[in-house]
Amino acid sequence: MSSSPAAATRRDTRSRGAVLGELERTRSRIAALQAEELGLLARADAIAAEQTARVPSSAGREREMPLREMAAEVAAVMRRSDRVIQDRLHDATVLVTGFAATVAALRAGAVDTAHVRIIQDAGAHITDPDARVRFEQAALVVCERETPGRAKPIIAMIAQKLHPVPLADRHAEAAAGRRVWVRDLDDGMAELAAVLPAALAYAIRDRLTQHAREVIAARRAAAPEKPTGSDGATAETGDDTGSASTAPAHPAVERPADNDPGVTDTRTTDQVRADILTDLLLTGHASTPVSSSSIPAGQAITAHVQIVIPAATLTGDGTAPAELIGYGPIDPDTARHLAGTADLWERVFTSPTTGAVQHVDTYRPNRAQRRHLDARDEHCRFPGCRRPVYYCDHDHTLDHARGGPTDVCNLANLCVRHHTLKHASAWNVIQKPHGILEWTSPTGRIHLDIPRRVLEFTALAAAEDPPPF
């Protein structure tokens, strides 16, 4: 009688270190096989192209047959749609011929297919061969050190900086294609979509989110008070911070009656955002009873976006792209316009030799260390985490109780999840120069977390060196 998979798992006595080591080797073998598959698909595409070349150019539709025939046969072998395979044949050829170093890195197990897609997507518009080689070198420096999620915005910025055509010119052309459309869905629904300049799209989402927070805050204020015990303490609290306060989040909002829609509103944040979008577009304001009761008359909600602008770009002396935090590169004209209407400016000074954030100053010089850390880190500094700094704690790398100084060289942003993990598990971290964190896992593996700007600077510096082939 054969044993169950669960029983086989229980008999597996491999240690944690052995499991992790085998995972690394397996991942490397899988990547090598994926690179081999790309080579095979590219060769199949080349065979079809050779057959197509032997068909007279006047044959018309007959010239399509070699590729369609090849795609159908490969699809049958791989059990995929021939239309999908035809696209994959083309993509494989583009990668093998246009991104040879990336395919080689995949074959060596240094990156995975998610990294490859990011490099291909970002570099596809760089047609100049020398610029693409430099881009690919820089992109691989990033991908060999970061997760795909973290690598994507860095690589997008690198592609913009190395692109031979100025971003302002490309943005003007792209902005001409802005549009809104509707796509029908099932069950009486439809999808409303728009292509807009990134700064406007992010500002719209931010404003909707602020409206939604006001609505949800009003809902919580309108909720019936929780029962109290004999000592007057609340029986239960939903405050994530552990606070026992029962004061309404917005005391200026009058508590509605029990039959008010705010009391029974159970919409999620996404649902509230969608409803407010509808209200704003159709009526000019958030007009539903719940929305109206949560926003005092005349209260303006202004969208907030964070832009990083090189000094030369800001003054008009340079054309380097600015960056919309959370999205990536935006054109200089848009950045300068947003800077001209900003209430608060912060100057971020970076090292000319490493790219590391060295100093942050502002016209409001309070909490300078927090501003420095937020500019340097941008997100949680645990390897692979992208939780924005707004939801993170400024953690002492060496505990303050053990003599760790409250200084930027001993502080880093950690989200609640990874702040807890650092203090409650065998994960350890030390801070290196330029804000680099060296994490040590419970099995002794070293994982470097490099600040985004240091990594981007290092990658661009690598792009300036001649390729090693």
**Rounded CA gap, 154 and 151, in Å?**
5
* Amino acid 116: pLDDT: 96
Q: What percent of the chain has pLDDT over 70?
A: 79
Q: What is the pLDDT of residues 349-365, one digit of tens each?
A: 677 778 787 766 443 33
Q: Which one-letter DSSP state was computed for residue 427?
A: -
Residue 154 — very low, low, confident or very high, per pLDDT cuts 50/70/90?
Answer: very high
Structure tokens at 249: 């989040």
* Amino acid 296: pLDDT: 45
**Rounded CA gap, 406 and 420, in Å?**
19
Strand segments (E) across 157-198 = 179-184, 190-195
Residue 244 — very low, low, confident or very high, per pLDDT cuts 50/70/90?
Answer: very low
* Amino acid 323: pLDDT: 82
Adjacent-strand bridge partners of 151: none
- For 264-301, the DSSP string reads H----HHHHHHHHHHHHHHHSS--SHHHHHHS-TT---
Residue 369 — very low, low, confident or very high, per pLDDT cuts 50/70/90?
Answer: confident
Q: What is the pLDDT of residues 232-243, one digit of tens each?
A: 444 333 333 333
For residues 319 and 167, the answer to whether their CB atoms sit within 8 Å is yes
For residues 154 and 142, the answer to whether their CB atoms sit within 8 Å is yes
Given the DSSP bridges, would you call strands 307-308 and 322-324 parallel, antiparallel or unpaired? antiparallel
Strand segments (E) across 376-455 = 392-396, 411-415, 428-431, 437-440, 446-449
As a whole number, the mean pLDDT across the chain is: 80
* Amino acid 350: pLDDT: 72
Would the pLDDT of 134 be above 90?
yes
Mean pLDDT, range 293-304, rounded to an integer? 52
Would the pLDDT of 347 be above 70?
no
Residue 302 — very low, low, confident or very high, per pLDDT cuts 50/70/90?
Answer: low
Would the pLDDT of 301 be above 60?
no
**Rounded CA gap, 225 and 208, in Å?**
28
Lowest-confidence region among 106-110, 122-126, 353-357: 353-357
Which is nearest to 286 in space by CA: 210, 191, 199, 189?
Answer: 210
Indicate yes or no: pTM above 0.85. no
Which is nearest to 384 in space by CA: 87, 152, 79?
Answer: 152
Q: What is the pLDDT of residues 56-101, one digit of tens each?
A: 877 677 888 899 899 999 999 999 998 999 999 999 999 999 999 9
**Rounded CA gap, 335 and 151, in Å?**
23
* Amino acid 237: pLDDT: 35
Residue 174 — very low, low, confident or very high, per pLDDT cuts 50/70/90?
Answer: confident
* Amino acid 241: pLDDT: 34
Spans of all domains in the chain: 22-175, 201-224+249-304, 307-464
Mean pLDDT, range 417-426, rounded to an integer? 91
Place of tokens 């239309």: 83
